[in-house]
Structure 1
Amino acid sequence: MGIKKKLGLGIASAALGLSLVGGGTFAYFSDTEASTNTFAAGTLDLGLDPVEIFNVDNLKPGDKMHREFELQNNGSLDIASVLLDTSYTVTDAQGDNAGEDFGEHIVVKFIKNEGHPEHIFDNDEYTVVYQKTLAELSNMTPDNLAVELEDFLVWDYEQDGIPVGGVDYLDVVIEFVDNGQDQNIFQGDSLELTWEFTGEQEEGEWR
């Protein structure tokens, strides 16, 4: 190999080495910032006061019971709506109900309310905005009941849902209906009513 060719190869090798070294040590300005992000879910906490709304004995046909109770938002998210689910069990004391349902003789009346505790209730004068027997309520889904109640329970009150820390009030009258017929089969019977209230969140929004 001639000297020119050897020299040319040496220059090429030196250039390659320089390139490799330069690629590993090239200096430039830089600045780094880190983003720390937090996502915390809110809470839905529906409170009920009192928890036991009715506790009545020695009922007879024609008796009526009025109760007012609070639905409280104790969580960190607004409650858009509250659903009501009804269930009950009957204890037949004499064993002679013969297929008759005590719940068909108990009527729940939802009373017009101003939506605040200053509402005045008169046992002789009140406006029933919606009513069903316990048997009918227990056969309704909470969603179906909510649709029907929305058409009837129109408070003179502008609160929409229950805001955080807010309270809504509900007035009901329960009546053991006197149907003018023999109802002796229900003597001594007892009925245990369970009302389950479910608070639902508002729709999601841009945050």
Structure 2
Amino acid sequence: MGIKKQLGMGVMTAALGLSLIGGGTFAYFSDSEQTNNTFAAGILDLSVDPTTIVDVGELKPGDYVIRDFELQNTGSLDIEKVFLDTDYSVVDAKGDNTDDFGKYIEVEFLYNADKLDEVIYKTTLAELKEMSPEAVNQHIFYPTLGEKGLQSGNIDDLVVKFNFVDNGEDQNEFQGDSLKLAWTFNAQQATGGEK
């Protein structure tokens, strides 16, 4: 072997030895800990009791019906806003309607059963059907639920009065007709924040 090879082998042997010595003498303490975490979403659950608010027959112009119902927050999250979507269909018994029966059913949302003369908002079913759910919330539910909305586990009583408006004119076209009203209540959660 040549001198260059012997020197190269010596340098490599020395480097290998130093790395083994350095690696063998390098030691440290260690420890580890694991955490278990959970993210669980809450439940938004709005209930209406009773589910049939009004079912009445044999109405004539000038008649009215007062009904109360409850909005219940049975979920684990607070409800900030309640929106109401109104839809109805008219069954024209004789096929002679020239006007919308919903224009003659006036709806008064009242504060509570004890103060039936205190009207929160008054409109007709025809107008209510055309209102945006946000506008309904602002006029009807905000005055009763307030800024806090309907908190989890709470119940709010609402009273509504339906008037068959007597316009003082011939309303014979509505004889025998029926109006099927569908109210859909939609809840919106309160704004999220730090937990």
Say yes or no: does 1:120 pair with 2:109: no
Alignment check: 8 A CA contact 2:73 2:150 kept: yes
Deviation at 1:164, TM superposition (A): 1.1
Alignment of 1:178-193 (within 5 A): 178-193=166-181
Among 109, 112, 137, which residue is 2:128 paired with? 137
Tell me how far apart the structure 2 counterparts of residues 173 and 8 of structure 1 sit (CA, whole Å): 108
Say yes or no: does 1:154 pair with 2:135: no
Alignment of 1:74-85 (within 5 A): 74-85=74-85
Long gaps (5+) in structure 1: 114-118
Among 173, 180, 183, which residue is 1:195 paired with? 183
1:58 alignment partner, SS class: coil
Alignment of 1:27-176 (within 5 A): 27-98=27-98, 100-113=99-112, 119-120=113-114, 126-149=117-140, 154-155=143-144, 160-176=148-164
1:154 alignment partner, SS class: helix
Residue deviations 1:153-191 (CA, integer Å, cap 9, x gap): 635x87821111110111110010111110000000000
Deviation at 1:23, TM superposition (A): 7.0
Cα RMSD after superposing both structures: 2.2
Tell me how far apart the structure 2 counterparts of residues 105 and 22 of structure 1 sit (CA, whole Å): 99
Alignment TM-score, normalising by the size of structure 2: 0.89
Tell me how far apart the structure 2 counterparts of residues 22 and 130 of structure 1 sit (CA, whole Å): 89
Deviation at 1:28, TM superposition (A): 1.9
Alignment check: 8 A CA contact 2:73 2:79 kept: yes
Tell me how far apart the structure 2 counterparts of residues 97 and 19 of structure 1 sit (CA, whole Å): 105
Tell me how far apart the structure 2 counterparts of residues 54 and 71 of structure 1 sit (CA, whole Å): 15
Question: Which residue in the other structure is 1:204 paired with?
Answer: 192
Percent identical residues: 48
Tell me how far apart the structure 2 counterparts of residues 61 and 37 of structure 1 sit (CA, whole Å): 64
Change (3 A) 1:23 1:76: farther
**AA of the residue aligned to 2:151:** P
Residue deviations 1:2-28 (CA, integer Å, cap 9, x gap): 4xx555433311233235545765432
Change (3 A) 1:22 1:56: farther
**AA of the residue aligned to 2:109:** F
Tell me how far apart the structure 1 counterparts of residues 23 and 61 of structure 2 sit (CA, whole Å): 96
**AA of the residue aligned to 1:93:** A
Deviation at 1:105, TM superposition (A): 0.4
Residue deviations 1:30-50 (CA, integer Å, cap 9, x gap): 111122221111110001100
Change (3 A) 1:35 1:192: same
Tell me how far apart the structure 2 counterparts of residues 162 and 192 of structure 1 sit (CA, whole Å): 28
